[in-house]
Amino acid sequence: VAFAIKTGLFNIGAEGQYIIGCVVATMVGSMLDFPKPVAILMVLLSAMLVSALYAGFVGLLKARLGIHEVITSIMLNWIALYLSNWICGLQFFHKPGTIGMYPVNDCTYTMILPFWKRTEEGRAFMTRHPFLQETLGRTDVHAGIIVAIIAALVISHLLNRTRKGFELRAVGQNIDAARFVGIDVNKSIVHAMMISGALCGLGAGLYITGQSPHTVSTLSAFENVGFNGLSVAFIAFSSPIGCLFAGLLFGGLLYGGAGLQSKVGAPTEIINIIIGIIVFFCALSYLIPQFVERLDSSRRSKKERKKMKGGEK
């Protein structure tokens, strides 16, 4: 989402791209029986590819027909939701006795020490080290943390150190100027949406391979993972590196809110209120400079009109 904002696009369809990525990752992962590195790579690449194509369709409609990405991506969110539910009900993918698909095979798991920590040796070791007990024993810590850091560094390099990144940012900042200097605007829009979608697919693949129950179930509503990405992007001011810290803050608030009511008796909704306040003030930081600039411009234009009237007299 932050990448799309950097290139002048508002990818509100991240939720749908995430759902599609989860479905594809589950479909591929449930059929693979390869060595672990190969299986994980195939699951992640397949999720990234399909999510990139799903987002690229939004970019294509904007580039060719001028349809705003917000409209099409919202519609595609709902298509992804109901398509996911339909696939979950297909006999080939549906796991009997459940409301979901067959889970991915063990060879695709990306959890850190998933089986060792459940052995007697692992439990004894973590008992002697309380910090590891908290981080590894009670949560499904997986390779997504490492991949997120690498992805943030790669995207930051792409945007700030490459010609392609310059073209994408130029189109986002001033599309007419970019077209004037010879940048293929339509191609840049499609590429920006595809990269944004691929990142959503990467997150989906890591979620399926790294979190129990490692499958997709029938959804009655959006899980808000993609929509939460919008909040993280705003808090990070669309900085790829900043998204790492904003994501940690956001995840900490959500994770802490789950046990807030039982620990101190506070309503869990207070976390959503705090997040909303943070996002609100982050949004104000975008609006206030524009408001001040317009106010100054209006004052200058009034002074110039007064001078012109005085000169005419």
pLDDT above 60 for 312: no
Q: Is residue 136 part of a domain?
A: no
**Residue that wins the pLDDT comparison between 269 and 149:** 149
**Residue that wins the pLDDT comparison between 132 and 77:** 77
The tally of CA atoms less than 13 A away on the side-chain side of residue 218 is 12
Average pLDDT, the chain: 87
Q: Is residue 254 part of a domain?
A: yes
Cβ atoms of 32 and 190 closer than 8 Å: no
Percent pLDDT > 90 in the chain is 45
**Domain range for residue 229?**
224-313
* Per-residue model confidence (pLDDT) at position 230: 86
Q: How many domains, the chain?
A: 2
Tell me the average pLDDT across 252-275.
76
Instruction: Give the chain's radius of gyration (CA, Å).
Output: 23
Alpha-carbon separation of residue 305 from 110, 294, 298 (angstroms): 66, 16, 11
Cβ atoms of 240 and 3 closer than 8 Å: yes
Of 217, 233, 262, the residue at which a domain comes to its end is 217
The verdict on 241 and 297 lying in the same domain is yes
Tell me the average pLDDT across 5-31.
93
* Per-residue model confidence (pLDDT) at position 15: 93
The verdict on 43 and 61 lying in the same domain is yes
- Residues 244-280 as b/e (b if ≥16 CB within 10 A, e otherwise) read bebbeebeebeeebeebeeeeeeeeeebeeebeebbe
Of 165, 185, 217, the residue at which a domain comes to its end is 217
